Every structure is written in C-alpha cells, then in structure tokens.
Amino acid sequence: MLKILSKLINVSALLALLLSVLLVNNAQAMSIPETQLQQTLAKYRGKVVYLDFWASWCGPCRKSFPWMNEMQQKYRDQSFVVISVNLDADKALAKEFLLENPANFLVIYDPKGDIAQQFNIQGMPSSLLIDKQGEIQQAHTGFFTNKVKLYEAQLIALLAIK
C-alpha cells in the first residue's frame, strides 16, 4: 500500500511539473502585443468592444478614425470601448499618422502582426465587434462611409443586450 501511494505521489508531482512547463511555454509563446490585448479584453469583459486593425499607409483608416472617436465618445457611458491595433513595422509611421488622425482610444502596437495573424485579418482596416461575453459578433474588412449607420446599428444592438 505504501509503495502504491509513493508511486501515485511521484506521478502527481510529474504531472504538476509537466503542467507548469506547458503553462510557462504557452505564456512565452504569446508576444507582448498579444498579451497586452488579452489583458485589455479581459479588463473590458462585460463591455461591447470595437477592435480595429489599421496601418499608417491605409487610406480608409483615415476616414475610420473620426467615426471611431465619435462612437467612443457617444457610447462610452453605455459600456462601449474602442481598441485599435496598429500594424506598422515602424512605430514612427504610426505616431505620425496619429498626429494627423488623433485616437481618443487605446492603440496597441503590433509591428510583427501577431494579433492580426491570430484573428486572420485579411485587409486594412479590419474591425471586429465583440459582445459583452467576449464573443466576436461582427467582422468588417474595409471602412465604408456609406455603411456607418449599419456599423452603429450593430453596436447599438449589442449594447441593448443585457
């Protein structure tokens, strides 16, 4: 009986060690931008999130920024938040863009495109509308001024869900 108990303890210790190694490796596998986004999304759980992917060379991105600022301002007290992910390899280009197109929302810099790859982003800008439970409900590629009423209606619909 003592031998069996000793073997079980050894097996349990080995499993615990393997689990801790797997957890450490998984944490190391995530890039800093991915970790920052994960922590930010966790912080805003219970809110509707508009997650936008952009780059300084993107023409339609220049049109989307005023709209995102407006939505952030208009719905922030109703549990809505905009988070953007910049994909420029050179952060200076993003900063120059932001001087001309200010962001009244969080900007996460992802120069290697790890987050975009995680979400399989195919074009610029791209946006994901995430519900209060953290589930993606809408995805848009491009930003079209003739669709801003649709975009706003989609976020209003998610805000209405308790």
**Least confident range of 12-26, 48-62, 115-129, 138-152:** 12-26
**What is the average pLDDT score of the chain?**
86
Report the catalytic residues.
Answer: 58, 61
∠ CA 17-21-23, nearest 5°, is: 115
7 pLDDT above the threshold of 80: no
∠ CA 33-38-43, nearest 5°, is: 125
| 11 vs 132 pLDDT, higher one | 132
Residue 68 CA neighbour count, 13 Å, CB half: 31
Question: If one looks up domain 32-160 in CATH, what number appears?
Answer: 3.40.30.10
**Least confident range of 5-14, 52-61, 63-72, 91-100:** 5-14
Q: What is the pLDDT of residue 14?
A: 36
Q: What is the pLDDT of residue 151?
A: 97
Residue with tokens 């805003």, as numbered in its chain? 44
Residue 119 CA neighbour count, 13 Å, CB half: 26
**Helical ranges in the chain per DSSP H:** 2-29, 32-43, 59-75, 91-100, 114-118, 148-160
